[in-house]
A and B are shown apart, each in its own frame.
Chain A
Amino acid sequence: MPIQYYIYLSLALFCIGIAGVLTRRNAIIIFMSVELMLNAVNLLLVAFSKMHHAVATAVDKVNNVGTDGQIFVFFVMVVAAAEVSVGLAIIVMMYRNAHSVDVNFLNRLKN
């Protein structure tokens, strides 16, 4: 499958994520949009990595070029999982304090 399809897909996912972050006020939905952007990037990394690997193995069977992108994705997933736990904990605390998950209430540092 041509690489362009992957790029279009991840671009679309990323833009959906940005739009979600910009337009929604619910903290959980913003959070999900952020995850969407992260996964768009993951998808792109994997796609490029696969492409490079295919080109390299065509020349040399034992070449492992392009695998590092895939390993990078694993790291992103791990970090994202950790971040989700922290982020959800913050949202829970926010709900306990403000009885709402609307980010527009988080303006106490103003002035």
Chain B
Amino acid sequence: MSQLVYLVPLLPLAGFLINGLLRKSLSKQAVSIIGCGVILIAFLISLGLFFQVKANGPIIQTYFNFIDIKGLNIPFSFQVDALSVLFMLIITGVGFLIHVYSTSYMHEESTPHFARYFSFLNLFVFSMLLLVMGGNYLILFLGWEGVGLCSYLLIGYWFKNTDYNYAAKKAFIMNRIGDVGFLLGIFWLVAKLGTLTYGNVFAAAGNLSAVDVTGITILLFIGATGKSAQIPLYTWLPDAMAGPTPVSALIHAATMVTAGVYMIARSNILYSMSAVTENVIAIIGIATVLLAATIAIKQNDIKKVLAYSTVSQLGYMFLGLGVGAYNGAVFHVMTHAFFKALLFLGAGSVIHAMGNEQDIRKMGGLRKYMPVTHITFLLGCLAISGIPPFSGFFSKDEILAAAYAKNPVLWVLGVAGAALTAFYMFRLYATTFLGSFRGTHDQEHHLHESPAAITLPLIALAILSVIGGWIGIPAVMIPDANAFHHFLQPVITTEAIAEMPHATEWLLMVVSVAVAVIAILIALGKFTKRPELNEPQGLGGFLAHKWYIDELYDAVIVNPLNALAGFFKNIIEKSGIDGIVNGVGRFILYSSRQVRLVQSGQVGSYILFMVLAIIVLVLIWINDGYIYTYLSKIF
């Protein structure tokens, strides 16, 4: 099995090349089979690798020297261990379901664009696999950049819409800002340790000074804030909803945005060495949870609600990382991949049925038209709200328990975030699926349940969202039942969470579940009969405008930069650079017009010039003394 490791990323790459290069000649059916098939095979190989890793421990495959110069050797290697194989399963498994879903969702596109979509999607899976399978930080960075590129390409998939292009550009630039930090962190590592291979870095981590560790981890974390949409670089993710809905499910919910969590969990040895960084991460995480959750409760675009919900859930993961619950964070990545992909795909199903309508104020009562979508969406909502025994409960509870052990204030804020989560999810659910239909008569006429290619992935993900949490049942419920911790133990060696009395843990669980249930009941009671149809005022308007963060960024960063660029363009470029270039041309033209007067066309004047020139030459010779002395000898 370990000889097949390279096939896992190679197959999606092959799919990308075939679909991309032959997009004009392949039929939609062939594109679908190639696009989904390569991911399915990659998933099966990953499954085989999973059992092998479980039985025999990590596999490290080195293929060739990627960079080999004096004092620095970076091999091109893959490291398949518990953490990466888990991500590989999520990426290829959820990825496969989303590919299948896309074959139906994107079916109205023309064939070349259909193939372009699938080739980008395959390229994304390839880059993401490179990211999680790489055996050192550089391979991780290659994948890191690759997923950023694919995210850009897919957000701007409908490139005829200028707004979508701006959204794609925004995502790319915001990610680049984080990437600079990430790259600087890598350089720092190279400078101090001379290696980027995980094993060597972690073995030598003890040699680093406290300043080095804090600096490196903070810089790497800046990269994570960009990729995983944390404060202050989160504003690209809601705009990224411009892409097709399956893209939002795969890239902007399940996989790419969790790259930062993967990276920090992978580097847990470094992060646990710096208390400063851990505190920064925990504070950023909880702040993101609350900020995004408050925004989500006033959004009316079905995808925007889910986007802010994703930002908020990513905040939970970072809260978990910050309080040292690396297992909990990775666990939440997994369960979140299930239920958030489910919710996005469900939203896609709704949007599809509504004829590309995304405003939930124009929906309502879809329960009786779309039974499968409704049930699966409800299960997803319950999972994200943390209701037992759905998957979100176990992972969120693990993070909250660790937060309590670190600092009860974090726990209180986290529970408040969980209540907001339950509230906005059930506001969304009630407004969309309950009550009566508020759209046009035409839309009502066309309402229908989606085809099997859409409902089957929904059902698969719904099952995973329900049972996915059962592999990580906390010890307080059933001792030694947490298969998840056990599996990740070889990678996450530094998890240290203070033991709590069982009674406390039970109490925390009951309180957080009770808060979530109350929030759900309030939301259902409030929005089933009387959904919010008017533009919110006051505080609600402030939240609906996303705390005016975009406007703030525009005023503080974008507009000054544009003004500076305008200054360089209009003043420096136009008057300075262009002035010099045009001035040279004008000077040559002017001087040549003056010199041209010499060429009069009069033979006599030419001869005169010739004679004068000869006289001048003779005078020069005489001054040289040679002819002069010769002549003076004669006379």
Report which A residues bind B (CB closer than 8 A): 3-4, 7, 18, 21-22, 25, 103-104, 106-111
Task: Say yes or no: A3 contacts B607, CB within 8 Å.
Answer: no
Task: Say yes or no: A22 contacts B604, CB within 8 Å.
Answer: yes
Out of B602, B607, B608, B634, name the residue touching A107 (CB < 8 Å). B602
Out of B599, B601, B604, name the residue touching A25 (CB < 8 Å). B604
Say yes or no for B635: interface residue by CB 8 A criterion: yes
Out of A4, A18, A104, A111, name the residue touching B603 (CB < 8 Å). A104
- Known pairs A22-B604, A22-B611, A107-B602. 14 more at Cβ < 8 A? A4-B634, A7-B634, A18-B611, A21-B607, A21-B611, A22-B607, A22-B608, A25-B604, A103-B603, A104-B604, A106-B603, A107-B600, A109-B601, A111-B601
- The residue on B at minimum CB distance from A3 is B634
- The residue on A at minimum CB distance from B611 is A18
Closest chain A CB from B448 CB (angstroms)? 82
Task: Say yes or no: B601 contacts A107, CB within 8 Å.
Answer: yes
Task: Say yes or no: A103 contacts B604, CB within 8 Å.
Answer: yes
Which residue, of B602, B603, B635, has the highest number of chain A Cβ atoms within 10 A? B603
Q: How far is the CA of A100 from the CA of B196 in the complex (A)?
A: 92
12 contacts between A and B (CB under 8 A): A4-B635, A18-B611, A21-B607, A22-B604, A22-B608, A22-B611, A103-B603, A103-B604, A104-B602, A104-B604, A106-B603, A107-B603
Report which B residues bind A (CB closer than 8 A): 599-604, 607-608, 611, 634-635
- The residue on B at minimum CB distance from A18 is B611
| Complex interface: chain B residues within 8 A of A4 (CB) | 634-635
Task: Say yes or no: A110 contacts B600, CB within 8 Å.
Answer: yes
- The residue on B at minimum CB distance from A109 is B601
| Complex interface: chain A residues within 8 A of B611 (CB) | 18, 21-22
| Complex interface: chain A residues within 8 A of B635 (CB) | 4
Closest chain B CB from A75 CB (angstroms)? 22
| Complex interface: chain B residues within 8 A of A110 (CB) | 599-601
Q: How far is the CA of A18 from the CA of B608 in the complex (A)?
A: 9
| Complex interface: chain B residues within 8 A of A3 (CB) | 634
| Complex interface: chain A residues within 8 A of B607 (CB) | 21-22
| Complex interface: chain B residues within 8 A of A25 (CB) | 604
| Complex interface: chain B residues within 8 A of A22 (CB) | 604, 607-608, 611
- The residue on B at minimum CB distance from A51 is B634
Q: How far is the CA of A80 from the CA of B425 in the complex (A)?
A: 110
Closest chain B CB from A32 CB (angstroms)? 15
Closest chain B CB from A1 CB (angstroms)? 14
Q: How far is the CA of A111 from the CA of B608 in the complex (A)?
A: 20
Closest chain A CB from B634 CB (angstroms)? 7
Q: How far is the CA of A50 from the CA of B599 in the complex (A)?
A: 44
| Complex interface: chain A residues within 8 A of B603 (CB) | 103-104, 106-107
| Complex interface: chain B residues within 8 A of A18 (CB) | 611
Which residue, of B604, B607, B608, has the highest number of chain A Cβ atoms within 10 A? B604
| Complex interface: chain A residues within 8 A of B600 (CB) | 107, 110
| Complex interface: chain A residues within 8 A of B634 (CB) | 3-4, 7
- Report, nearest first, the 6 A-B pairs whose CB atoms are least far apart: A110-B601, A107-B601, A103-B603, A21-B607, A22-B608, A106-B603
| Complex interface: chain B residues within 8 A of A107 (CB) | 600-603
- The residue on B at minimum CB distance from A4 is B635
Q: How far is the CA of A103 from the CA of B608 in the complex (A)?
A: 14
Q: How far is the CA of A109 from the CA of B601 in the complex (A)?
A: 7
Q: How far is the CA of A7 from the CA of B633 in the complex (A)?
A: 14
| Complex interface: chain B residues within 8 A of A106 (CB) | 603
Q: How far is the CA of A108 from the CA of B603 in the complex (A)?
A: 11
Closest chain B CB from A6 CB (angstroms)? 11
Closest chain B CB from A16 CB (angstroms)? 13
- The residue on B at minimum CB distance from A27 is B603
Q: How far is the CA of A35 from the CA of B603 in the complex (A)?
A: 18
| Complex interface: chain A residues within 8 A of B601 (CB) | 107-111
- The residue on A at minimum CB distance from B615 is A18
| Complex interface: chain B residues within 8 A of A109 (CB) | 601
- The residue on A at minimum CB distance from B634 is A3
Q: How far is the CA of A25 from the CA of B607 in the complex (A)?
A: 12
Closest chain A CB from B617 CB (angstroms)? 15
Closest chain B CB from A67 CB (angstroms)? 21
| Complex interface: chain B residues within 8 A of A111 (CB) | 601
| Complex interface: chain A residues within 8 A of B599 (CB) | 110
- The residue on A at minimum CB distance from B600 is A110
Q: How far is the CA of A107 from the CA of B601 in the complex (A)?
A: 5
| Complex interface: chain B residues within 8 A of A21 (CB) | 607, 611
Q: How far is the CA of A110 from the CA of B598 in the complex (A)?
A: 11
- The residue on A at minimum CB distance from B599 is A110
Q: How far is the CA of A15 from the CA of B611 in the complex (A)?
A: 11
Closest chain A CB from B605 CB (angstroms)? 10
| Complex interface: chain B residues within 8 A of A104 (CB) | 602-604
| Complex interface: chain A residues within 8 A of B608 (CB) | 22
- The residue on B at minimum CB distance from A25 is B604
Closest chain A CB from B518 CB (angstroms)? 97
Q: How far is the CA of A3 from the CA of B630 in the complex (A)?
A: 14
Closest chain A CB from B603 CB (angstroms)? 4
Q: How far is the CA of A27 from the CA of B600 in the complex (A)?
A: 18
Closest chain B CB from A110 CB (angstroms)? 3
Closest chain B CB from A28 CB (angstroms)? 14
Q: How far is the CA of A79 from the CA of B603 in the complex (A)?
A: 23
Closest chain B CB from A91 CB (angstroms)? 13
Closest chain B CB from A72 CB (angstroms)? 19
Closest chain B CB from A69 CB (angstroms)? 15
| Complex interface: chain B residues within 8 A of A103 (CB) | 603-604
Q: How far is the CA of A15 from the CA of B618 in the complex (A)?
A: 15
- The residue on A at minimum CB distance from B596 is A111
Closest chain A CB from B186 CB (angstroms)? 67
Q: How far is the CA of A23 from the CA of B603 in the complex (A)?
A: 11
- The residue on A at minimum CB distance from B608 is A22
Closest chain A CB from B146 CB (angstroms)? 64
- The residue on B at minimum CB distance from A48 is B634
- The residue on B at minimum CB distance from A104 is B602
Q: How far is the CA of A37 from the CA of B604 in the complex (A)?
A: 17
Closest chain B CB from A40 CB (angstroms)? 14
Q: How far is the CA of A24 from the CA of B166 in the complex (A)?
A: 80
| Complex interface: chain B residues within 8 A of A108 (CB) | 601
Closest chain A CB from B607 CB (angstroms)? 6
Q: How far is the CA of A22 from the CA of B602 in the complex (A)?
A: 11
Q: How far is the CA of A109 from the CA of B602 in the complex (A)?
A: 10
Closest chain A CB from B86 CB (angstroms)? 84
Q: How far is the CA of A22 from the CA of B603 in the complex (A)?
A: 9
- The residue on B at minimum CB distance from A107 is B601
Which residue, of A21, A25, A109, A111, has the highest number of chain B Cβ atoms within 10 A? A21
Closest chain B CB from A55 CB (angstroms)? 13
Closest chain B CB from A22 CB (angstroms)? 6
Closest chain B CB from A30 CB (angstroms)? 8
